[in-house]
Amino acid sequence: MSQQAEIQIRNASVLGSTMAYRETGAQDAPVALFLHGNPTSSHIWRNILPLVAPVAHCIAPDLIGFGRSGKPDIAYRFVDHVRYLDALIEQLGISSAYLVAQDWGTALAFHLAARRPDFVRGLAFMEFIRPMPTWQDFHQVEAARETFRKFRTPGEGEAMILEANAFVERVLPGGIMRTLSEDEMAPYRAPFPTPESRGPVLAFPRELPIAGEPADVYQALQAAHASLKASSYPKLLFAGEPGAVVAPAFAEAFAASLRHCALVRLGPGRHYLQEDHPDAIGRSVAGWIAGIEAVLPQLAA
């Protein structure tokens, strides 16, 4: 397959709505499922998918309420995203996959892996969500912590995210080292043209498992992280410098605490590492998948 593999954008009917996804690579290759976070979409993987396509059947969904996916009348809680992603996986007939995830995509990946360990061929992840006992554990920058406290405050969050579109216009660019062009920003802005359309973006910061709240999300991710620690499937953790919710030293310690986890230091980067290091991420994931697939027949023998 060419390095410039063509990416198709498709739609699937899911739970009475639609979910869009990007697809590239050979249909008979192992699946690599790319999971984005807030407030992005599969657009964030656009420069990574062609690099992984030679070794995998790449599928990158737009989470429900994001990108080109539908916006059903739901609360957009973590459990809703779990339900819709599960339904999409079933609809597409995916029986196993490499999971490649960032931000809320990692929470979905950890939760999926905990429930279906046989589904996971490997897990590549970055800037990941975990249960955070205190606000100090959430983000390295106090100003960011204060902003997210406001997002979680009734009234303030609505004014900042629904009215001012702060997550798209401020948080997203602030999490990227380089400056995105207007053409690059347009697909990030397009799903959220009005205050009414931005509900899914507001819901996610209010779902962050911080200081025990929300209790259901906190407990679900405690269990998922316990399963992650016990798991034996291959893992690949990417870290930026200084990072945002994952500092380099924390990434190093976290990788060392897991079984079969390699750490890739990307260099300068904050939260949306895919925008600053698509080549390094894409080539690393492709090489990692190829290496695992090369030894699988020997393990099965």
Known catalytic residues are 103, 127, 271
In one-letter notation, the amino acid at residue 123 is: L
Strand 97-103 to 235-242 pairing: unpaired
Return d(Cα 299, Cα 301) in angstroms, integer: 6
Inter-residue contact 158 to 133 (CB < 8 Å): no
Return d(Cα 19, Cα 69) in angstroms, integer: 4
Q: Sheet containing 97-103: give its strands across.
A: 8-14, 17-24, 57-61, 31-35, 97-103, 120-128, 235-242, 261-269
**Cα-Cα-Cα-Cα dihedral sign, residues 95, 221, 191, 43:** negative
The tokens for 220 are: 């679900």
Specify the DSSP class assigned to residue 177.
S
The distance from CA 222 to its chain's CA centroid, rounded to whole angstroms, is 18
Helix axis angle for 142-151 and 199-207, nearest 10°, is 120
The tokens for 165 are: 């579109």
DSSP 228-280: HHH--S-EEEEEEEE-SSS-HHHHHHHHHHSTTEEEEEEEEE-S-HHHH-HHH
Tokens 């410098």 belong to which residue? 241
Specify the DSSP class assigned to residue 96.
-
